[in-house]
Chains A and B, each alone.
Chain A
Amino acid sequence: MGPYFARRVVIAIPTLWAIITVCFFLMRLAPGGPFDAQAPVPQEILVNLRARYHLDQSLAVQYLDYLGNLARGDFGPSFKYKDFTVTELIAQGLPVSAQNGLCALLLAVVLGIPAGIFAAIRQNSFRDHAVMGLAMTGIVIPTFVTGHLFILIFGVWLRDTMFHLPAGTWNGGAWPNRILPAMCLALPFIVTIARITRGSMIEALRANHIRTARAKGLPFRLVVTRHALKTALIPVVTYLGPATALLLTGSMVIETVFQLPGIGRYFVQGALNRDYTLVMGVTIISAVAVIATNLLVDVLYGFLDPRVRYD
């Protein structure tokens, strides 16, 4: 276990380096620069600006500088948000994104897994089809549509009732403000988890040890929760790894619809403004999250399935 873990962490470093390198050169390859959009500035000022951000040096020097700063934990200054470093911007945005993502993750797990089990133990019955049919709507309606619908229903139509919820903004993390974005963000994940759980639970219930457990007279409820659930959860955990990374690092769509000050919004804005360092910073945070959660998933396999060996 220990050596396996250590090796995986060591492998993660070149992976991260490859991502940073590809991202860095991809952005510089594109036409345009961070100071194009502003009103035309005199040539002398432009030269000074470019010198200030080291854009006048060769690409190789810039790249090595960036890697060196990164190794010291410095993401560099933002090109667009003057007077802010990327580290400061991420430190402001990430807590908002992560908290919203965590609420959504909890919702997805708490609602998705029971729904999947419910459908699986009534396979092909009316109730199975009803739950799964309803679940399908959660996948096929884009989040920005559900987001706007939620705002319309809870923010506008139910304005004068007790069900009224604020239609946007973070408001320092007040609970009423958190409900709609978290629900909206969670919806596709609830549905996917329910579908995966249903499939793997049906599979798990066909296994020999389940028949044995039932034959010795164990109540069906206990067969499901004690024996089948553990095997059935393996594909769910596999899915939850990247899903967690995705949720915690912020959704561009949800943060745009509900006007949350998270890091997802920085990404699109940053890319449009050629804010090289900000885009790099957000990408690196996301990549680290994906790598870390995948590692966590591999460790969890061992707990869920004793047959898994690390070597």
Chain B
Amino acid sequence: MTESVPSEIIEGRSQWQDARRRLFANRAAVASLIVLAVITVASIAGPMLVPWTYDQIDWDHMEVMPPDLATRHYFGTDSVGRDLLARTLFGGRISLTIGLLATAVALVIGVSVGAVAGFVGGKTDQLLMRFVDLMYAVPLTFFVIILMVLFGRNFILMFVAIGCVEWLTMARIVRGQTLTLKGKEFIDAARAAGGSTASIIVRHIVPNVLGVVVVYVTLTIPQVILLESFLSFLGLGVQEPMTSWGMLISDGAAEMETSPQTLILPAIFLTATLFCFNFLGDGLRDALDPKER
């Protein structure tokens, strides 16, 4: 069939191609993508390339030291003589990993609950959405803090707990989208072709709500990174000698008056990342909005 189609025929553009074109026309979003890529690569590869490791103490400089090329501490050292560049890049690994994993947890729970509630409807919908309403009334940051305090500063628990807090809005958004999709002809067609409820949700509903979900995901990641930094500030972050951007910033805040670089350097990485995710999210929202066409 395909080889019989003449090559000069005007190709149709899918919604995704349209969206991609609009996204790449948005300079702020493209710049954000590039910066994010650079920070991600630096966080992954950087700790292997810098002369010091994140937990290595330079016994000759066991105090805060400004950036110094001779000893190859390009960002200086922290209060116990550990290299700040190595720690900032390693902290990036932790912060970005928590951001991505917690959002992934929220994504899986939110999309499943939202799609099932919207598509199945009836009692299931009632039950799931009342549960979401109930959870909305809970001071959720409190729960994350209780979990972190009571069960220790555990890396896995941290992103699971944050993910379990962030899925509520996702579920509501996906449910709303599913309700509008449910009445469309292609769903009737899939049903007439003998598709089961599960396969219709997975094959037809989920791919069609992805646009909205992608936007929300890019806006959730910075929220999670910020939440992690608050936990670190309250002393509930990852365990020393591991570190994260939030922890480095709260350490730096203590040294702010005498050596502001310990606050400013990690803060630049954190704020740049959060900025970029927000700009990217705004760009994606504009690109995927059908009204912008």
Which residues from chain A sit less than 8 Å from chain B, CB to CB? 12, 15-16, 18-19, 22-23, 26-27, 29-32, 136-137, 139-145, 148, 152, 156, 242, 245, 249, 252-253, 256, 267-268, 271-272, 279, 282-283, 286-287, 290-291, 294
Contact = CB atoms under 8 A, between A and B. Distances in A.
B271 A140 contact: yes
B110 to A, nearest CB: 18
Contacts of B134: 15, 18
B234 interface: yes
A290 B275 contact: no
Which of A26, A145, A279, A286 has the most CB atoms of chain B within a 10 A radius of its CB? A145
Contacts, number: 101
B146 A26 contact: yes
Given A19-B137, A145-B253, A286-B142, A272 B271 contact: no
Main secondary structure of the interface of B (DSSP, over half): helix
Contact of A139 (B139, B253, B278): B278
Nearest to B246: A142
Q: Which 6 A-B pairs have the closest CB atoms?
A: A30-B150, A140-B274, A286-B139, A271-B149, A148-B253, A144-B233
B160 to A, nearest CB: 14
B115 to A, nearest CB: 23
A19 B274 contact: no
B59 interface: no
Interface in B207-261: 222, 226, 229-230, 233-234, 236, 246, 249-250, 253, 256-257
Contact of A141 (B136, B137, B151, B267): B267
A44 to B, nearest CB: 28
B230 A253 contact: yes
A140 B277 CA distance: 10
Interface of B: 134, 136-139, 142-143, 145-147, 149-151, 222, 226, 229-230, 233-234, 236, 246, 249-250, 253, 256-257, 263, 267, 270-271, 274-275, 278-279
B137 A253 contact: no
A156 B233 CA distance: 22
A245 B234 CA distance: 21
Contacts of B145: 252, 267-268, 271
Interface centre among A139, A140, A294, by most B CB within 10 Å? A140
Nearest to A289: B139
A142 B263 contact: no
B220 to A, nearest CB: 13
A32 B234 CA distance: 20
Nearest to A129: B28
Contacts of B236: 268
A257 to B, nearest CB: 9
B256 A148 contact: yes
Contacts of B249: 142, 144-145
A144 B151 contact: no
A61 to B, nearest CB: 22
Nearest to B274: A140
Contacts of A287: 137-139
B234 A268 contact: yes
A283 B150 contact: no
A272 B152 CA distance: 10
Contacts of B274: 139-140
A142 B150 contact: no
B234 A252 contact: yes
